[in-house]
């Protein structure tokens, strides 16, 4: 595929230079009375090229769907994700439908009404009825999408803290993440970047008793089927917390707390067992195996076998190592989550060692 793209780029560059040479030639003064005026043959050739480009455009579009459709995300692993996917599917379907019609008409009219000797263009001032139709149809379509989107967004963002809700703070800094859980008191302690010192990487207020049993980790664990509300803080620059498999994203802004929430519906192990993920992992490992043969032949270490994991990513270009700013997410059953939490060190235990 890379070779094909290189060939296309070279061909386009060649066409560009050819056209530029013609422009330069036309811009030079000529002593003769000859002029380059398009005749019927030229116009017909250009019209046929417009049709050919239409076929190429649609062919490329369908090929992209066929070849790269498998790179789309799998089914959502959160409750609200299905609503998000449905909205995206409707929006993309409508856009593709309109694009196919308008692009076809654009190129077809260029072909059908190309210039011919003796043909005169019809002067058409306006048509109120036609203008009303092509104005009201987009208005209705866009209004429907916007209203549907607003209702969906309100449902997703309707975050209510109950006794069942798990509240987790996600702390961002260049170029890593930390997660903070409340302890037995179910309340996150106060924090401020001014308190950052030594092992207190998140700036927890040690005078606040609620911080004593807070748990700070670099691997995010979530219980399946339990609502989770995330409170986001940033230490330095603008970040964006992106949970692709859960269809969730929220900007992490210095100096303020933003929030988002979702309910996980698939554990990490359940996602690994889906047909989509089994095929994807198999394909990746086949590629890694081929690359490992070359690496070993050069005296380098072979690549490790790939295993799927959920990840929290940064979706804002926040600096030189932005690409590597990620945190592993483990979704597990409630009892496994409780067992994991019981093994974690509290903030009080952490500071007692300093």
In order, the DSSP letters of 238-257 are -EEEEEGGGTEEEEE-BTS-
pLDDT in tens, 147-200: 998 988 888 888 788 888 899 999 999 999 999 999 888 889 999 888 888 888
Give me the DSSP letters along 189-254.
PPB-GGG-BTTBTT-B-TTSGGGTT-EEESSEEEETTS-EEEEEEESSS-EEEEEGGGTEEEEE-B
**pTM, 2 dp:** 0.77
237-256 burial: b if 16+ Cβ within 10 Å, else e: bebbbbbbbbbbebebbeee
| Low-confidence residues in the chain, pLDDT < 50 | none
The pLDDT value given to residue 216 = 92
The tokens of 30 are what? Answer: 């000529």
300-326 burial: b if 16+ Cβ within 10 Å, else e: eeebeeeebebebbbbbebeeebeebe
| All domains of the chain in start order, with CATH | 166-269+307-352 (2.60.40.420)
The pLDDT value given to residue 119 = 80
The pLDDT value given to residue 302 = 86
Other Cβ atoms closer than 10 A to 86 = 12
The pLDDT value given to residue 196 = 87
CA angle 346, 352, 354 (to 5 degrees): 115
pLDDT in tens, 220-245: 999 999 999 999 999 999 999 999 99
């Amino acid at each position: 595929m890379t070779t094909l793209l290189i060939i296309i780029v070279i061909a386009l560059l060649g066409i560009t230079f050819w056209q530029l040479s013609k422009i330069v030639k036309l811009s030079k003064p000529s002593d003769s009375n000859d002029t380059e005026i398009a005749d019927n043959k030229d116009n017909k050739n250009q019209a046929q090229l417009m049709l050919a480009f239409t076929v190429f455009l649609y062919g490329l579009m369908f090929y992209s769907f066929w070849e790269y459709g498998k790179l789309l995300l799998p089914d959502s692993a959160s409750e609200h994700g299905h609503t998000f996917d449905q909205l995206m599917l409707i929006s993309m379907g409508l856009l593709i439908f309109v694009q196919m019609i308008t692009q076809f008409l654009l190129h077809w009219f260029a072909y059908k009404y190309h210039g011919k000797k003796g043909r005169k263009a019809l002067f058409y001032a306006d048509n109120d009825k036609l203008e009303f139709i092509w104005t009201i149809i987009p208005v209705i379509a866009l209004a429907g999408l916007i209203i549907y989107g607003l209702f969906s967004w309100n449902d997703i963002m309707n975050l209510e803290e109950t006794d069942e809700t798990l509240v987790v703070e996600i702390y961002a800094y260049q170029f890593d993440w930390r997660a903070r859980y409340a302890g037995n008191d179910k309340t996150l302690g106060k924090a401020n970047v001014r308190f950052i010192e030594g092992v207190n990487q998140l700036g927890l207020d040690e005078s606040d008793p609620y911080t004593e049993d807070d748990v700070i980790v670099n691997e995010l664990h979530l219980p399946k089927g339990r609502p989770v509300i995330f409170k986001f803080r940033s230490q330095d620059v603008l970040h964006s917390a992106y949970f692709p498999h859960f269809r969730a994203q929220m900007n992490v802004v210095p100096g303020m707390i933003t929030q988002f929430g979702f309910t996980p519906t698939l554990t990490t192990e359940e996602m690994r067992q889906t047909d989509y993920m089994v095929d994807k992992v198999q394909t990746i490992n086949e590629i890694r195996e081929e690359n490992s043969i070359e690496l070993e032949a050069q005296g380098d270490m072979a690549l490790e076998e790939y295993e799927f994991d959920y990840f929290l990513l940064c979706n804002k270009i926040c600096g030189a190592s932005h690409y590597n700013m990620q945190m592993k997410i483990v979704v597990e059953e409630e009892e496994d989550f409780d067992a994991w939490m019981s093994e974690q060190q509290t903030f009080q235990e952490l500071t007692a060692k300093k």
